[in-house]
A = this chain, B = another copy of it.
């Protein structure tokens, strides 16, 4: 099933976007392969610390009515034509949350790993008009409807506190990124971002065995989206990092070799 057959994935509000499948900001659309999905590692709501305070019985109750959807690479999880009406939990795969300018350029707000929650703004009455989310790999996503949320979560003080913490972290991260973007050169931002990614996408058992500790799965273009820079500029600084021995590069993969070197680069101001 091609995503082209999913009309709701189209975005009709973009000024310069004429036809579906021709989105300048989503070049890597592919056919979907239903066989390659990961098996269910955990039920939707386990392992998500938003719900950590719930009793097993309560979890049970919630889980019953949580539908689960699958998305192929490039497929939109939500957009303006399909506005957020639910809280999403990423079960497997990876999702990119981003914004689009009128001229088609994008900024990536976050690249989410399994276990992440998104669409949280809905919980506090925000609308998220402007945000898009797309799968960048085959992904399985649970979604709680607004009603689920309102009835079971908002009312619960334990959950409300968790939500506040979640949002607090996010505020801190955003403030950091904002000041970095304003005050630091590209190289510094790139170094910092690599360090962050390297520790947030932690070493799996497999990658550790292969000596790939600190390996990030990301393309230059995706990284550029996070940095608020062009692909070319990003490639440039990455080459320099590689030349310095700070990192090693492969296609769609970057391995941090000298985090200390990156750290000092991250501190430069101009």
Please list the residues of chain A having a beta carbon within 8 angstroms of any beta carbon in chain B: 99, 101-103, 105-107, 109, 120-121, 123-126, 128, 130-131, 154, 156-157, 160-161, 163-165, 167-172, 174-179, 181-184, 228, 267, 269-270
Given contacts A130-B176, A174-B178, A178-B174, contact A168 B270 (CB under 8 A): no
Ordered by A's residue number, 14 sampled pairs between the chains whose C-beta atoms are within 8 Å are A101-B183, A101-B184, A102-B269, A103-B269, A103-B270, A105-B269, A107-B182, A107-B183, A121-B172, A124-B165, A124-B169, A154-B161, A171-B174, A174-B178
Q: Which of B109, B154, B171, B178 contacts A181 (CB 8 A)?
A: B178
Given contacts A109-B178, A181-B228, contact A172 B99 (CB under 8 A): no
A170 to B160, CA, bound (A): 16
A121 to B177, CA, bound (A): 16
Query: Which residues of B have CB within 8 Å of A160?
Result: 157, 160-161, 164
Query: Which residues of B have CB within 8 Å of A101?
Result: 179, 183-184, 269
Query: Which residues of B have CB within 8 Å of A165?
Result: 124-125
A131 to B99, CA, bound (A): 26
Query: Which residues of B have CB within 8 Å of A183?
Result: 99, 101, 105-107, 228
Q: Are A175 and B109 in contact (CB under 8 A)?
A: yes
Q: Are B126 and A168 in contact (CB under 8 A)?
A: yes
A130, A269, A270 — which one has the most chain B CB atoms within 10 A of its CB? A269
What is the minimal beta-carbon distance from A184 to any residue of chain B, in angstroms? 7
A123 to B165, CA, bound (A): 8
Query: Which residues of B have CB within 8 Å of A167?
Result: 124, 164, 167-168, 170-171
Q: Which of B154, B170, B176, B184 contacts A171 (CB 8 A)?
A: B170
A105, A154, A179 — which one has the most chain B CB atoms within 10 A of its CB? A179
A103 to B183, CA, bound (A): 9
A222 to B90, CA, bound (A): 41
By beta carbon, the residue of chain B nearest A155 is B157
A36 to B81, CA, bound (A): 53
Query: Which residues of B have CB within 8 Å of A99?
Result: 175, 179, 183
Q: Which of B105, B154, B164 contacts A163 (CB 8 A)?
A: B164
Given contacts A99-B175, A181-B182, contact A123 B168 (CB under 8 A): yes
Query: Which residues of B have CB within 8 Å of A131?
Result: 175
By beta carbon, the residue of chain B nearest A269 is B103
What is the minimal beta-carbon distance from A211 to any residue of chain B, in angstroms? 34
Other contacts beyond A125-B165, A131-B175: 7, CB < 8 A: A101-B183, A101-B184, A107-B182, A107-B183, A126-B171, A157-B157, A157-B160
